[in-house]
Amino acid sequence: MSNRTTMTEFLLLGFSGVRELQILHFVMFLVLYLAGLIANLLIFTAISLNHHLHTPLNFFLMNLSILDLGFISVTIPKSMANSLMNTRVISYSGCVAQVFLLMFLGLADLGILTVMAYDRYVAICQPLHYKRAMNRRACIQMAASAWISGILYSALHTGNTFAISFCGGNVVDQFFCDIPQLLKLACS
């Protein structure tokens, strides 16, 4: 039986060790994060409050903005906090959560984009059948299938990634927990 230690945290290398560049990184990411946050919140609010915008395409666009809000909120705040506090540490459970959420939100994003493409296909190629094909129930089922498939896919990949033993150190050559970087630290 080999002697293995349990991994409790990872070190994210980030962008730079120079303090001035870390502050610049924080400011740039803060501006980009706030812009993304405001834009997605405006899309969500406009579609929610305006009854004339309650169409299938805008329903999917609202789902997409929710997923994008989550996607940018998974990695950017932690990266900004690390830059501001001049630290590089992320806990093991924080890394697991980050990988799960990134995979889930990324795949659900792709699922919603696929459903939006189908919506446009039906609207252009079968305009007389559009109301029947893209009714409220069908839209909710398609959006739910995108979200659920994202959860299942993410659970599978996150579970497989963290089922392995890590013995190659704890330094992740990225500013967030990324599966390819974590697999470089695996023993097997």
- Model confidence, pTM: 0.87
pLDDT by residue (tens digit) across 42-100?
A: 999 999 999 999 999 999 999 999 999 999 999 899 888 888 888 888 899 999 999 99
85 to each of 2, 4, 25, 68, 80, how far by Cα in Å? 37, 31, 12, 26, 9
Q: Name 115's bridge partners.
A: none
Distance of alpha carbon 112 from the chain centroid: 13
Domains and their CATH numbers in the chain: 9-165 (1.20.1070.10)
